[in-house]
A and B are shown apart, each in its own frame.
Chain A
Amino acid sequence: MLTVLRCGPQALVQDRGRPGYAHLGVPPSGALDLPALEHANRLVGNPESAAGIEALLGGIALRAGSPCMVAVTGAVADLSTGAWGAAVRLAVGDVLRVGTPTRGLRCYLAVSGGLAVPAALGSRSTDVLSGLGPAPLSAGDVLPLGSQGTMSARPPAGEAPTQQDPPAPVLELPVLLGPRDDWFHEPAVQLATGQWTVSPAGNRIGVRLHGTCLHRAQHLRDVELPTEPVVTGAVQVPPSGQPVIFLNDHPTTGGYPVVGVVPPQALPALAQARPGVTVRLAPATAVR
């Protein structure tokens, strides 16, 4: 087991989420930088689907109550064990302290056996919109671990400790136009010529962008859109014109038009974008 000694701004249990319940109003949830969690799981010999910890701005400290392997990926932070991006063995009583990353936003911590906290609708992910799943972590929490298989689990052959790529000065996100691009005046031009920064007001529900206002087509200025389903990555434009890009804990329906959708493979980089990062949106039409 692991005991939480302290948390940074927010530490949540996350796995691959609970897709498939949107018709009941349940968001898909799951780790925002899923490749980072999956990598951490592989490093400690877990299935990629095992539950780990998503630590916003790091800052978490844990004490091992049993021998285990841990790995930290995602945003690069100093570790008391020294080896970010690699599997480290902890003995009973050993403490792992994760520092605050200076680049990137979310650290991912996996432990051998995975976190064996109770699941809701088949997933151990915390959904901050609906409250499903485990409560956010706090000091004093004791986290049970699943069976660890062989303690001699080694990182898969060929997967050495990695370094995170330095982030580009401007985060450029592809946006597949639709379903309501026709609600906007020249949507491809507005998106391509716009520029935004990541607002500090975002969270797992969505990233709020601050910058260029996106304007509707004249004849739709005061028209209301009947509420309709939305997907993760949707670029929703409220009356303010300041876009919101939905992340994993997004509401399943919405009444503001979605000008386009950021495809899933581009979302982990967005999930690691700190407030103040410059964002540009590159419109494209989906491949049929």
Chain B
Amino acid sequence: MLDCGPDAVLIEVHSLAEVAAVRAAVLAAAPGYVVDVVPAARTVLVRCTPGTSLATIRELVAQLRLDTVVAPAGRSVTIPVIYDGPDLELVAATAGLTVKEVIELHTSTTYTVAFCGFAPGFGYLTGLPEPLRQARLDTPRPTVPTGAVGLAGPYTGVYPRSTPGGWRLLGRTPAVLFDSARPQPALLTPGDQVRFEARPC
């Protein structure tokens, strides 16, 4: 556990499964002074209301019983994709596959939303088949289209808005990734199970 300012601790773990377990355990304990429980790749941040002592937070975390908590099953989400992205051929060449095989591979897997960051609704999805784990672009694009579907390193994901982006782009989805007016504003939240489905251009 690492101090993160006066009101938060950063918990280091060894796997995404542990991230999910720690997050579920803190949420299950649900003390009123916890404001944010933020998962990431190998860490979970627990942020509390100002004035909560670090000792209190550390005691809460130290007492978590990870073995008794089962992370609640997330939602199953299917994302329609038109696979016409500008980096399809680059991804295929890097993987030593045809474009058709890349699309089949990307749509053949069930991914898990490990965490969100970078922008509201941007979920980092894990479970990419090995040939699709590729580097970022050498030069990020100053803007990517809203709904662009891409991959970088161990993750695949969808850009919720037109922002700068360095991921290799496979296609685009009409699905709305984040809408603050919805009862559930984010389409993808940590723990959700996600599949991509190819749609005709």
Contact = CB atoms under 8 A, between A and B. Distances in A.
Interface of A: 19-26, 120-121, 129-132, 176-180, 226-229, 231, 233-234, 251-254, 258, 261-264, 285-288
B10 A24 contact: no
Contacts of A228: 10, 40-43, 45
A49 to B, nearest CB: 15
A253 B117 contact: yes
A20 B189 contact: no
Contact of B5 (A22, A132, A176, A227): A176
A287 B178 CA distance: 38
A25 to B, nearest CB: 4
B194 to A, nearest CB: 15
Contacts of B63: none
A130 B161 CA distance: 9
B10 A179 contact: yes
B5 A233 contact: yes
B50 A227 contact: no
A121 B36 CA distance: 15
A26 B120 contact: yes
Interface string B38-60: 11111111010010011100100
Given A23-B38, A24-B121, A25-B122, A231 B3 contact: no
B9 to A, nearest CB: 8
Interface residues of B, number: 43
A229 B119 contact: no
Nearest to A122: B180
A24 B186 contact: yes
B120 A286 contact: no
Contacts of A258: 4
24 contacts: A19-B35, A21-B120, A23-B36, A23-B37, A23-B39, A24-B120, A25-B121, A129-B119, A176-B6, A226-B43, A227-B40, A227-B124, A228-B40, A228-B42, A229-B40, A229-B43, A231-B7, A251-B118, A252-B38, A254-B117, A258-B4, A263-B6, A264-B5, A288-B53
A234 B47 CA distance: 13
A10 to B, nearest CB: 20
A261 B55 contact: no
B190 interface: yes
Contacts of B117: 25, 227, 229, 251-254
Contact of B45 (A120, A121, A177, A231): A231
B35 A20 contact: yes
B111 interface: no
Interface in B3-43: 3-8, 10, 23, 35-43
A229 B180 contact: no
A233 B8 CA distance: 12
A285 B3 CA distance: 9
Please list the 10 inter-chain residue pairs (A to B) with the smallest Cβ-Cβ separation, ordered nearest first.
Answer: A253-B117, A261-B5, A179-B2, A229-B45, A229-B38, A120-B180, A178-B3, A25-B116, A226-B41, A22-B36
A252 B47 CA distance: 12
Contacts of A21: 36, 120, 185
Contact of B4 (A20, A178, A288): A178
Interface in B149-201: 161, 178, 180-181, 185-186, 189-190
Given A178-B4, A263-B5, A287-B6, A23 B43 contact: no
A20 B185 CA distance: 13
With most chain B CB atoms within 10 A of its CB, the pick from A121, A178, A229 is A229
B115 interface: yes
A266 to B, nearest CB: 10
